Amino acid sequence: MLFIRSRRKVTFSVAIDIKVKRVKYCVSKGIHDCGIVADVRYLPVRKESFDIVLCLDLIEHLCKKDGLKLLIELDRIAKKQIIVHTPNGFYAV
C-alpha cells in the first residue's frame, strides 16, 4: 500500500483485518488512514463504499465457500474496481 500511495493519488485508505494488532500497526505507520476490525466474509461496510478494493494474499487462506463469500463482499463494497492478488494454491493457517 505504501508503494501504491507513493505512485498514485490516494485520498483515503482503510485497513480491514480480523486482528486488532494488524489494523493498529497499519494506521500507526501511515499505511492506511483508519482501520476496521472485522471478518472479511461479513464486512460492516455500506454498499459501494470504496472506489477500489484491494485484497492482498488473503483468499488462499479461506476454504472455497468462504472465498466465494469474500468475493461477494468485495463486489458489494466496491464502486469501480476490485484487485485480488494471491499466490498459487491453498495455504492453511
Q: What is the pLDDT along the chain (93 residues), one digit of tens a residue?
A: 777 777 777 789 999 999 999 999 999 999 999 999 999 888 999 999 999 999 998 998 899 999 999 999 999 999 999 999 988 766 666
Rounded CA separation 49/25 (Å): 23
Residue 49 gets which letter from DSSP? -
Say how far apart CA 84 and CA 57 lie, in whole Å: 8
Contact 88, 59 (CB under 8 A): no
Give the distance, in angstroms, between the CA of residue 6 and the centroid of all CA atoms in the same chain: 19
- Please tell me the predicted confidence (pLDDT) of residue 38: 95
Same domain? For 76 and 64 the reply is: yes
| Residues 15 and 53 placed together within one structural domain of the fold | no
**pLDDT at res. 88:** 74
| Full residue range of the structural domain in which residue 27 is found | 1-37
Domain count, the chain: 2
Residues 84 and 55 sit within 8 Å (Cβ to Cβ)? yes
Please indicate, yes or no, whether residues 44 and 85 belong to a single structural domain of this protein: yes
